[in-house]
Amino acid sequence: MAYSEKRLIGFSRDEMFKVVSDVSDYHNFVPWCRSSTVTHEHESSQIATLEIGFPPLSEKYSSRVIHIKPSVVHSVVIENDNLFRTLDTTFRFGKGKPSVERSCTLHYDLVFEFESAFHSRIAHLFFDKVVKTMVSAFLHRAEKLYGPPEFPHSPPQVLQYKS
């Protein structure tokens, strides 16, 4: 499964980078994330363990998160207890409106494949909701931390959608 979008948003690259790179805070706002712990941290990367699910299903996996401030946060699953065959997420923050400092172009890319047929069937049922909810969660978190956006976000331009 794969999804990519881009949109112009009313938050700065720095604001969005801080929200997305703060993996230890994900359990407070990312849907279905029950816990998020950074286990190792380096200057431009971290290892994080996340627990996702909804009762009674819950699974843990670890990811390597690489960040290039203020433009990229890239996450790849590294240990998953047989949950994901692939999980690759990238947020890129490009230049926004030329005359608006508090703006950026958000690019979001998600590629994932579950190990089990059971998880794959569930994912196919909810894929549309998951992809629409994920970016919105990060935008809502930015609004909670930094106040309202400088201007209304543009609707997403879907670049890839493969369920």
pLDDT at 93: 98
pLDDT at 111: 87
pLDDT in tens, 119-141: 666 665 666 777 788 899 999 99
pLDDT at 55: 63
Q: What is the mean pLDDT of the chain?
A: 89
In 55-156, where do the E strands start and end? 57-68, 72-79, 84-95, 104-114
pLDDT at 113: 76
**Could you tell me the domains of the chain?**
2-22+69-162 (3.30.530)
Residue (of 153, 157, 159, 156) closest to 15 by Cα position: 153
Sign of torsion over alpha carbons 90, 20, 7, 161: positive
pLDDT in tens, 48-58: 999 988 666 78
Q: What own/partner pairs with CB < 8 Å and gap ≥ 24 does 156-162 have?
A: 156/5, 156/6, 156/7, 157/5, 157/6, 157/7, 158/3, 158/4, 158/5, 159/4, 159/5, 159/6, 160/2, 160/3, 160/4, 160/109, 161/2, 161/3, 161/4, 161/131, 162/1, 162/2, 162/3
Among 15-19, 35-39, 85-89, 121-125, name the one with the lowest average pLDDT: 121-125
Quick one: which H or E segment has residue 146? helix 117-146
Q: What is the pTM of this model?
A: 0.90
pLDDT in tens, 62-71: 999 999 999 9
Does residue 82 carry a pLDDT above 70? no
The count of C-alpha atoms lying within 13 angstroms of the C-alpha of 112, restricted to the half-sphere facing its C-beta, is: 23
